[in-house]
Amino acid sequence: MKVVVAGGGWAGCSAALAAVKAGGQVTLLEKCDELLGTGLVGGIMRNNGRFTAAEEMIAMGAGELFEACDRAALHQGIEFPGGHRHATLYDVTRIEPEVRGVLRAAGVRVLFRTRATGIRMEGGRIRAVLLKDGSAVPGGAFVDATGSAGPPANCTDHGEGCVMCVLRCPTFGGRVSLAALAGVAERQSRRAGGSLGAYSGSCEISKESLAPELTRELCRTGYIVVPLPDALRDPGKLGLKACQQYADAVFGDNLVVLDTGHAKLMTSSMPLEVLRTVPGFERAAFLDPYSGGVANSVRYTAMAPHDMSLRANGVANLFCAGEKAGPLVGHTEAIVSGALAGRNAALEAAGNEPMTLPTSLAVGDAIHFVTAAQDKLAGWDKKITFSGSFYFGRMEQLGLYSADAAAIHRRVRETGLEGVFAGPVLRRQPVALGA
């Protein structure tokens, strides 16, 4: 039951955990020297429908990463602009060691600074991932959690050039997609105006570079809202963001800043010379991306079509998670798809049929929705997130949204899936001839 996971973001970490808990011998390949990818500049959990999804996953036995975020939390149960309720903001400077410890304790083997150069296939199945050093990592099943951003040429062709974002392609090399290597025809979404992909929705500022009174308020409440002069308002930027749940007008009319260890500026970009004209931001310094004066990290340019179990089309033993599985936005969404892909990879490696999640749960409905919508992805600019935009509206309409943890756990028990991600899968025994 060897499972190989490519990509150590939230989705890959979740897949690795789910596969190892299922009894798999798991190797996680990560091209950088840290886990979590965009999770290192994220920091937002449990806002709106993400609370529901997190509690559903905890009830099903896949709660370790949500618990890690709670341990690294700076603020819990806050409400910030745009109608985002009961949010948790975790410290992006503390979360990676927390997650690394969770994986280590579970028995996941993590290979850092490891890049794939190819795969070995046989009979429509991947047999091994080939690495740059000439070695091979064999497996019975594989998970592609390599994301949908990079290499740098994508940001040049479809954006404003590489800004050395947290994915650090120039340092550690660009993304290598297992699905593409296996011949899966990947798909691309578009942003408002028709350009391919979508920009990341925020950039980081050093808290110490803000005016002391702003820093104090930010640390006290978890967020600040600083009105912009009319001349600096740019509502056109709102349609460029991958994170459409933060495309509300309040984010165009104000500087909305969240405390995630750094000061998280909720805009895709702002020229530094403009930012420093705002009172309190006169000495502001970008952290990541350092070139946050231009829009950064063009994403959703490499999504793999798949079935309801997240098995990639045409490759029997490859499952996809996170942004690779479609226009899913956010850490919670990545953890959800990662857990399903990881357990299904273990099931596949053990010779069993993969599982799907029921639409009576928010997490199941989201995966069914994104899977059913795949044929629309060409030219589609919508993104799916539990925390806002049109999909959260769908959750409310279907009665799937709840902030009552006890009620959410009861709903999971009614499906018969309580603790399903916690236990090992059974290896299917071959039937003896003549039996």
Under 8 Å between Cβ of 322 and 335: no
Q: Are 266 and 89 in contact (CB under 8 A)?
A: no
Same domain for 209 and 188, yes or no, is no
The domain in which residue 237 lies consists of 198-275
Cα 254 to its chain centre, rounded Å, is 26
C-alpha dist (Å) from residue 70 to 45, 67, 87, 406: 9, 5, 11, 18
pTM score, two decimals? Answer: 0.94
Structural contact between residues 115 and 30, judged by C-beta atoms closer than 8 angstroms: no
Nearest CA-CA partner of 269 in 291, 243, 301: 291
Together in a domain, 71 and 98: yes
Same domain, 173 and 241: no
How far out from the chain centre does Cα 267 lie?
A: 18
- Amino acid 434: pLDDT: 41
422 domain-assigned: no
Sign of CA dihedral 7, 11, 15, 21: positive
pLDDT in tens, 72-123: 999 999 999 999 999 999 999 999 999 999 999 999 999 999 989 999 999 9
Residues 245 and 388 sit within 8 Å (Cβ to Cβ): yes
What would the pLDDT profile of 294-342 be if each residue is shown by its tens digit?
887 888 888 999 999 999 999 999 999 999 999 899 999 999 999 999 9
Query: Can you name the residues that pair with 298 across neighbouring β-strands?
Result: 199
Q: What does the block give as tokens for 254?
A: 């104000």
- Asked if the structure places residue 287 within a domain, the reply is no
Answer yes or no: do 143 and 160 share one domain: yes
The residues with which 64 forms a beta bridge, in sequence order, are: none
Q: Is residue 16 situated within a structural domain?
A: yes
Query: Which residue is listed with tokens 């740098």?
Result: 152
> Is 430 domain-assigned?
no
- Residue 94 and residue 143 share a domain: yes
Q: What is the pLDDT of residues 37-78, one digit of tens each?
A: 999 999 999 999 999 999 999 999 999 999 999 999 999 999
Per-residue model confidence as pLDDT tens digits over 201-260: 788 999 999 999 999 999 999 999 999 998 888 776 666 666 667 777 888 889 999 999
Rounded to a whole number, what is the distance in angstroms from the first to the last CA of the chain? 25
Q: What is the pLDDT of residues 408-431, one digit of tens each?
A: 999 999 999 999 999 998 776 554
Nearest residue to 20 (alpha-carbon basis) of 147, 143, 128 = 143
Copy the structure tokens of residue 313.
């089309």
How many CB atoms lie under 10 A from the CB of residue 374?
Answer: 19
Q: Is 290 domain-assigned?
A: no
Residues 19, 154, single domain; the answer is yes
Q: Are residues 77 and 206 in the same domain?
A: no
CB-based contact 108:16 (threshold 8 Å): yes
